[in-house]
Amino acid sequence: MANYAKGVFLLSIGDELLDGRTQNTNASWIGEQLRLAGVPVAEVRCVSDRLEDIVRALEEGRNFPLVISTGGLGPTNDDRTLEGAATAFGRPLRATPESLNHVRSRYEARNLELTEIRLRLANLPEGARVLQNPTGTAPGVELEEGATSYYFLPGPPNECRPMFTADILPLAKAKVGEKQLVRRELWRTFGKGEGDIYARVEKVVERFEKHYPETFTFGIHIAFPGIDLTLEIWNVAGQALPPEIEVKEACAEISAALGNLCFTRERKTLVEAVSAALLTSGKNLSTAESCTGGMLGKLLTDISGSSAYYWGGVISYDNRAKESLLAVSAATLATHGAVSAPTVVEMAEGIRRLLKTDFALALSGVSGPGGGTPEKPVGTIHVALSSAGGTKTLHQVILNGRGSRDQNRVIAVHLALDLLRDALRK
């Protein structure tokens, strides 16, 4: 076939993906897994639940060696993926002993009645093979059509991902894989934008891209609210690999150029990195939050075992709470306002005194979309970090006042965490 594409065709099916009701996390996750396995993705497409859209996409899938489709395998009228396959390839839908056994066993295990509607899950295109779904009721489906292998997976990520890993990834490596990942380095940063980050490492990247264009890849992308950098070395047939000493030197150069902007070389979030540092230091933390409404405390307590270093906090959204719970003086609030350095200083010192912790973080700001003034525009944030050595403050107008309420709150929390990270380094 003259126009046969060398790579995987990822197909996501569902109206909810097109209109924004549901994020298409399956495509991004599967794409990453394939890339790390050295399997190229040629195209990613999202189509509606309309039968004609599904049929057209599946027919065009013949131009690829491997098609991975997610979504639309349920028993309801808008789950039409397998009907689309039956139409595209002229294979009538039929239940097989294997598919009936799969569906029956899944509903029996849940003590649910096997109704006529639920039995529809067993109808597969003629010649298809069942892929076991260990966590859901709808079986996955494998179908060979000419030189193309089609795999149909359920949409829920907790069902799709283990099935992809067990059944499809090994086949994809054998059928489409062209290269092997030899080395992957990661830098996670916070505090500067993409342009500023890239300017620091540009010379290293350009040098490697010039000498090893086929075996070296560099990526820089937003991992909100930070920036991730990745350096990858690939084993490609007929291409020279960079010497190990050069790779080590490049990594050292990048680390030096990033300095304290890099908070981890591992796949950790900033709160995970700070929490690990707290645990290692044997120190503990309390928090006083106003504009972030408990977001900082939530992120800390999302981590199992955080009670070892996080003792608690106060959400002092109203000034009366700041005064009565944290001993912020009425004079400070009257003179400087709730969103000010003096106020967050008293909030941090108040919660540290109350809970007797080594560190205390306090935040107050204007999250928006309303409430801003010329002096304190939307995005204004004040953070204080109190410890036995004194109290430090930070003031910033997040995203120059252009951020949404959610963005402002998330960045504010990470500014606070980064302030604590810096203190724990010293």
pLDDT digits over 286-338, tens only? 999 999 999 999 999 999 999 999 999 999 999 999 999 999 999 999 999 99
Whole-number Å distance between alpha carbons of 291 and 273: 23
Instruction: Output the average pLDDT for the chain.
Output: 95
Residue type at 393 in one-letter notation: T
Percent of the chain with pLDDT over 70: 98
* Beta pairing, strands 129-131 & 41-47: unpaired
Report the CATH fold assignment for 179-264: Alpha-Beta Plaits (3.30.70)
- The CATH class of the 8-176 domain is alpha beta
Average pLDDT on 128-151 reads 95
Read off the pLDDT of residues 155-183 as tens digits, 9 standing for 90 and up: 999 999 999 999 999 999 888 866 788 89
Read off the pLDDT of residues 365-382 as tens digits, 9 standing for 90 and up: 999 999 999 999 999 999
Q: What is the pLDDT of residue 2?
A: 36
The residue ranges of every structural domain in the chain are: 8-176, 179-264, 270-425
Q: What is the pLDDT of residue 5?
A: 61
- The CATH class of the 270-425 domain is alpha beta
Average pLDDT on 405-411 reads 97
φ/ψ (deg, to 5) at 216? -120, 130
Whole-number Å distance between alpha carbons of 372 and 365: 10
Whole-number Å distance between alpha carbons of 390 and 134: 55
Read off the pLDDT of residues 9-24 as tens digits, 9 standing for 90 and up: 999 999 999 999 999 9
How many other CB atoms are found less than 10 A from the CB of residue 298? 14
pTM of the model: 0.83
Asked if pLDDT for residue 3 goes beyond 60, the answer is: no
Q: Edge-to-edge strands of the sheet including 179-189?
A: 216-223, 226-236, 179-189, 262-264
Whole-number Å distance between alpha carbons of 339 and 366: 7
pLDDT band at residue 404 under the 50/70/90 scheme: very high
Average pLDDT on 26-42 reads 92
Question: How would you label 41-76 residue by residue, b for 16+ Cβ within 10 Å and e otherwise?
Answer: beebebbbbeeebbbebbebbbbbbbbbbbbbbbbe
Same fold: 179-264 with 270-425: no
Q: What is the pLDDT of residue 179?
A: 77
